[in-house]
Copies of this chain bind each other. A is one copy, B any other.
């Protein structure tokens, strides 16, 4: 079972998340003879600035600010497309948003636990879930090729121990 759910919801040295992601990205690019150009790297960095998925136009804003010049949507979408192809990021369909993948390259289930309160999204890969989905597909004679699994609810920080004061942000704003 692979997951980054602990990490996502605890205070941690997030710089390490970013660095690790970039190392993996460089390795994967080399392996695939693809180029991690400045735009692509910037987008990947932005997606790793927090553990919350970002929309394409949020990326556009931030990248435009960073670079001083106005970046148009196609530039963003091209970078997104590239990163998706390599498996470095995922698209979260229900949010029209994108997030870095903590374990690119390895087979995994593309399952997210998305907090309705703080917006964080932790990725989980559970062999037993994959197996079960595969066997359900088999039973239905369905040739499984891909999947998008999104769970909605409250992350440990937002569920409390404080048992939801209101719907105030009670979570630890450790690294944003």
> Counting CB contacts under 8 A, is A72 at the interface?
no
Q: How does the 8 Å CB contact mask read for A103-138 relative to B, with 1 for contact and 0 for none?
A: 000000001010110000010101011001100110
- The residue on B at minimum CB distance from A131 is B132
Indicate the size class of the contact surface on chain A: 35 or more
- Which residues of B have CB within 8 Å of A147? 149-152
Contact of A146 among B124, B136, B152, B156 (CB under 8 A): B152
Q: How far is the CA of A122 from the CA of B136 in the complex (A)?
A: 12
Contact of A141 among B128, B137, B148, B159 (CB under 8 A): B159
Instruction: Report copies per complex.
Output: 2
**Taking A113-B142, A145-B116, A159-B143 as contacts, is the C-beta distance between A151 and B137 under 8 angstroms?**
yes
Task: Tell me if A136 and B129 are in contact (CB < 8 A).
Answer: yes
> Counting CB contacts under 8 A, is A71 at the interface?
no
Contact of A142 among B5, B93, B150 (CB under 8 A): B5
A144 → chain B closest CB, angstroms: 4
